[in-house]
Each structure stands twice: as C-alpha cells, then as structure tokens.
Amino acid sequence: MKNKAAKRFGVVSLLLIGAILACNLPGRDAQPTPSEPTPNMTMTALFSIVTKAPAISTPVSPAATSTTGAGVINTQPPAASPTTGITPLPLVTTTPLPTAELRPAGKFTANFMTTPPTLDGKWDEWTNTAYPARFIVFGRENVSDKADLEGSFRVGWDNANLYLATKVYDEKYVQNASDVNVFKGDSIELLFDVDLIGDVNSIELNSDDYQLVFSSGKGSITGVKETYLYNPSNVAGPRTTVKIAAVYEAGVIRTEIAIPWSVLGVSPTSGKQFGFALSMNDNDNESQNIQQSMISSVHNRAFRDPTTWALLELKQ
C-alpha cells in the first residue's frame, strides 16, 4: 500500500512540475496591451508643471526710487513716454488741397448770388461764368452734331440754395418718363460729393455722394417738372422742394434749378469744396422712354466713381 501511495504521489508531483514549466515555454503569447497606455507619472508631472506655470506678462518699467534723509524711500511713478523730437500728427481740417490732387477732371466756381435768380428759364440776370458741357460720355453713335446735343451751364449759391442754369442744344425735346425713370428722356443730372476731403480717394459711391436727375417738363417744356434722387440709395425718391423753370426756343432748352441745401445735407460757407459733375441726357425717340446719349462737364464721367468727377468751390 505504501508503495502504491508513493507511486501516486510521484505521478502527481511530476504532473504539477510539468504544468508549471509549461507556462514559460517559448511561443506562448504575452499578456495583451491595455487599450490605453499606463500613464507615465514622471511625464504627467512635467506637463502638469508647464500648464500651471503663470502666463508671462509684458514687463512694466519699474518705478524710480530715491532715498531721502532718515533713510526714507520715495517711490515715483514711471515717467511718461518722451515726446521730445516727435512731430505730432496733423489735425484733420477742411483746408482745400491743390485742385490737381483732389480732382484732376477740373475745377468750377459757384459765385455767391446776393439776389437769387428769378426762376423763369432765362439767363438775363446771370453773370456767373458759363462752363461748357460738351463731352459725350454715353451713346456717341446717337449724336450727329452740335445742334443735336451740346450744352453749357452756370452755377451759383446763397445761404438757401445751390443754383444751376443749363443751356442745351437739342433739335427735339422728348421727355415722357417720370419718377425713377426720369433719366430716360431729356433731363439734367447732378453728381455731388458733399464730403470731398473725407473720402477723396474713394472710387465707389457712399452715403455722402448724391445723384439727382431733373426733368424740365413731362410731355413738353410746359409740363410737370420733376426731381428724383437716386443716391444715396437708402433715401432715394422724389424731391419736391427742388424748384425748376424751363423754356424751349429755336432748338435750345434753357433750365434754371434751385436745390435747397437741405436736400444735400450741406451747411454752405465760402471756400467749401465738393465733388461735382453736371450732365445732360438726351432722347429723340418719341415712342420709347430711353436714354440714348449723355454729354457732361467732365470727359471721363463715371457715376459710380467719384474720383472721375470735377471740383466745385463756393466763393463769396
């Protein structure tokens, strides 16, 4: 019995020893790597220090200190930035700049009128300079000669109004359009930049650039006169406070216009300068409202680009 028990013990012992040795045999797979690496506590501590470090601020000049009697220290505030030798920036003023720098298209003068003109379509009381408006800026193919389309104008002012007087050679007066379409007929257009100095280099329209078109009479020269403001577009619409008078004789349209300064948002004073272009639309087609051609006081007029306009100066 002892021999059998000893044999069984020996067999069991051999089996246990074999099992233990089998766990470390070559070719056995190692333990799987965790899906997330175990944190490296040393690196974690390093990054923790970096993220908690205080932000570096712009250094401030230390206060100056001085020692007085009895060992008392007086702290003085930092000195202000030195200004010696620094040229101050020029103040923005309305002092007129040389005409060539402002508007190469030219300069016109509006003289003060002590007595406002009588609005009757005649030029008898006008002594202001007459300027030409003969540059064809649109529809050249529709203009045959001077008798078909050529113009001139005068401009004046007083404390109440800007005054325009226009003379247009036109063999046929045709104006059957109205309201927003008033330019599609014989009419007069004013481009006016009320803040010339403020945006002298702006090549696009903005809220201080005005475009008005005047009709000398719908249907005939004796018909209803109209003024339509196109720009600034947010306040576009008819302007009934503008006064217009016109006559048509021997192929010549004479028109006088009084534009209240309030329409342009201007307080007039002598010496003020504005962007300015005056143009005349023409339509010889009685059966269709259309803008066939245009002449202007400036040779390269582009209504969307105020730098192509000329300059107008008020003079007293």
Report the pLDDT value the prediction gives residue 95, as an integer from 0 to 100: 44
Give yes or no for a contact between 314 and 268, defined as CB atoms under 8 angstroms apart. yes
Sequence ranges of the domains in the chain: 107-315
Instruction: Supply φ then ψ for residue 71, to 5 degrees.
Output: 70, 15
Give the span between the Cα atoms of 315 and 297, in whole angstroms: 19
Give yes or no for a contact between 245 and 254, defined as CB atoms under 8 angstroms apart. no
Identify the band that residue 37 occupies on the pLDDT scale cut at 50, 70 and 90.
very low
Give the span between the Cα atoms of 118 and 251, in whole angstroms: 22
CATH topology of domain 107-315: Immunoglobulin-like (2.60.40)
* Nearest residue to 101 via CA among 194, 200, 195: 200
Reply yes or no on whether the pLDDT at 87 is more than 80: no
Report the pLDDT value the prediction gives residue 176, as an integer from 0 to 100: 98
The DSSP-derived string for the chain is -HHHHHHHHHHHHHHHHHHHHHTT-TTPPPPPPPSSPPP-HHHHHHHHHHHHSPPPPPP-PPPEEEE-GGGPEEEEPPPPPP-TTPPPPPPP--PPPPHHHH-TT-EEEEEE-SSPPP-SS--TT--SPPEEE-EEEE-GGG--STTTSEEEEEEEE-SSEEEEEEEEE-SS------GGGTTSSSEEEEEEETTTTTTTT--S--TTEEEEEEES-SSSTTS--EEEEEESGGG-EE-TT-EEEEEEETTEEEEEEEEEHHHHT----TT-EEEEEEEEEE---TTS----EEEESSTT--TT-GGGSEEEEEE-
User: What are the structure tokens assigned to 313, written together?
Assistant: 């100066």
Report the pLDDT value the prediction gives residue 8, as an integer from 0 to 100: 53
Mean pLDDT of all residues in 156-171: 97
Distance of CA 122 to the CA centre of its chain: 39
Identify the band that residue 149 occupies on the pLDDT scale cut at 50, 70 and 90.
confident
Encode pLDDT of 201-253 as tens digits: 899 999 999 999 999 999 999 999 999 999 999 999 999 999 999 999 999 99
Identify the band that residue 24 occupies on the pLDDT scale cut at 50, 70 and 90.
very low
Give the span between the Cα atoms of 295 and 133, in whole angstroms: 6
Report the pLDDT value the prediction gives residue 66, as an integer from 0 to 100: 36
Give the span between the Cα atoms of 155 and 268, in whole angstroms: 14
Residue with tokens 């051609």: 293
Identify the band that residue 10 occupies on the pLDDT scale cut at 50, 70 and 90.
low
- CA separation, residue 265 to residues 271, 273, 313 (Å): 17, 14, 16
Report the pLDDT value the prediction gives residue 51, as an integer from 0 to 100: 34
